[in-house]
Amino acid sequence: MKRLPAEWEPQDAVLICWPHEKTNWAPYLNEAEAVLMDIAEAITRFEKLIVVVPDKGCVHTKLAARGVNMKNIALYEIESNDIWARDFGPITIYENNKPVLLDFTFNGWGKKHKAGLDNQITTKLYAAGAFGKTPLHTVDLILEGGSIESDGQGTLLTTAECLLNPNRNKHLDKKQLEARLTSELAVRKFLWLENGCLAGDDTDAHIDTLARFCPDNTIIYVQCSDPADEHFPAFQALENELKNFRTLENKPYRLLPLPWPKAKFDADGKRLPATYANFLIINGAVLVPTYNDPSDFQALETVGKAFPNREIIGIDCSTLILQHGSLHCVTMQIPKGVL
């Protein structure tokens, strides 16, 4: 009996990876570190944090000076290309109620960016004992954690633009890929979104930028309500797709729309992928990305409707979107029993 848990199920820890001067974060390294410290401070109030770092002593000093709960921190010195732990971190399944870590191949979102070091991080963490005695299986398939959403009951929500992109597993057609994912992740039902992609997104429309499973057959999703915005047609179509999706019991989902932040641009005038859907669910709380935007409060309120019994914590991720990702992208939950 195999199962891919939902993110809101109990966790042992969260994995993050620290930025350094050899990454694209070099021009705003202090700002990026500040965001990671905000995330670390919030997570360690509730659970453990595994941190991949370039220099143990340096990062330990910074986190301790910030007042982070160091009892809940484990630092591992491992080389990295970047900080997107969601996409190179292990995906955990349960087999007969016992956790098993799956290490899929990470190719830098279709070879857009260097990822050789990041692709080895899970293996190196495992060798260093970061995951206790939980077994690790290497899977010969390109798959990023940000590209799939699980309801914990066998339904997988994903996007055709990412998973069927020839820059991932071009040797597999849709039917063959579904067969592989059914085998590896025990998928009983696939929900494929055909529409929606944020300008400035490097991932080919990761689901965690667009729509997310929440408890009680709820899907929270990005809604574009501005007809003048370039995203409007695609996100109207995405909304209609979600309305037609059905649960395993053949019932419609409860849909909660997230607000649309004002367009954000980098110094060169290129649009950045600001999305409130990129939140992280942890034990007792949900961390929601904010962008110094008038819609921030409404976004926190909406996520609160999906998680009425958890603390909703806003984290300013204006710096993270400069490298085209956000809060969920830099984290990977480690489910209960792994450690």
Write out the catalytic residue numbers: 329
Domains of the chain as residue ranges with CATH: 2-335 (3.75.10.10)
- Reading the chain (339 residues) residue by residue, the pLDDT tens digits are 999 999 999 999 999 999 999 999 999 999 999 999 999 999 999 999 999 999 999 999 999 999 999 999 999 999 999 999 999 999 999 999 999 999 999 999 999 999 999 999 999 999 999 999 999 999 999 999 999 999 999 999 999 999 999 999 999 999 999 999 999 999 999 999 999 999 999 999 999 999 999 999 999 999 999 999 999 999 999 999 999 999 999 999 999 999 999 999 999 999 999 999 999 999 999 999 999 999 999 999 999 999 999 999 999 999 999 999 999 999 999 999 999
Q: What is the DSSP string of 205-263?
A: S-GGGTEEEETTTEEEEE----TTSTTHHHHHHHHHHHHH-B-TTS-BPEEEEEP-PPP
As a whole number of angstroms, the distance between CA 122 and CA 311 comes to 30
* pTM for the full predicted model: 0.97
Q: What percent of the chain is helix, strand and coil (3-state, nearest 5)?
A: 30, 25, 40
Burial class (CB in 10 A: 0-12, 13-18, 19+), 60: middle
